[in-house]
Amino acid sequence: MVRGPISPMTILAADSDCASSATTSAITTTLPLSGARATSAQYTRIQVGVALLSARVQVRERSSMKSVGRTLLAVVAGMALAFALVVAVEWFSSVVHPLPADFNGNMGEHVRRYPHWILGVVVLAWGATSTAATWVASRVGGRLAGIIVALLLAWALIFNLTMLPYATWFKIAMFSAFPIACLLGIWYGRRVPSPAAADGRLARH
């Protein structure tokens, strides 16, 4: 019920209140929507980041397993070559210095009678064997594989030289030549990455 005339100022105030109320309602309605969109975008980014991290971890695990397999294969290959060459050296030794007809099973006495020139050839042959075996292992599986083969050969060499009565100079020569031969095999057999692989690693980093 209208009690009196309505002034223009009253109409303007009413319009202003309505506009303000509409704006507030619009803002109140829009803000939750904008927050939901922002939360959804952040959640999407998190999902993408987790997926990328998971993929990177899987790639590293596969690479690690592949590296272990390659190392084991390299050690087996190096030791197989060393075994074949040692058998060849033993065969040469048995040909040039065969067991006597009256051999009674005393291997120590037979070794003590080895001619010095045969022992000199054995030093060279063992050095070549150590170099070849560690070279193959390092070439196939890297430096670690070459070191493992060198340690295994060192154990075999120490066992052989301490169990049989070889000449003193022969033992000194073997212990001196062996580490040099292994270092040469590991050094020259190390795997050098190709330029393409190096560029790929730099690009990933």
pLDDT tens digit at each of 205 positions of the chain: 445 554 444 444 444 555 455 454 544 444 454 555 657 666 676 766 666 666 666 666 666 777 888 999 999 999 999 999 999 999 998 898 888 877 787 888 888 888 999 999 999 999 999 999 999 999 999 999 999 999 999 999 999 999 999 999 999 999 999 999 999 999 998 866 555 554 555 555 5
Q: Are 131 and 182 in contact (CB under 8 A)?
A: yes
Q: Are 112 and 124 in contact (CB under 8 A)?
A: no
Q: Which two tokens stand for residue 30?
A: 């829009």
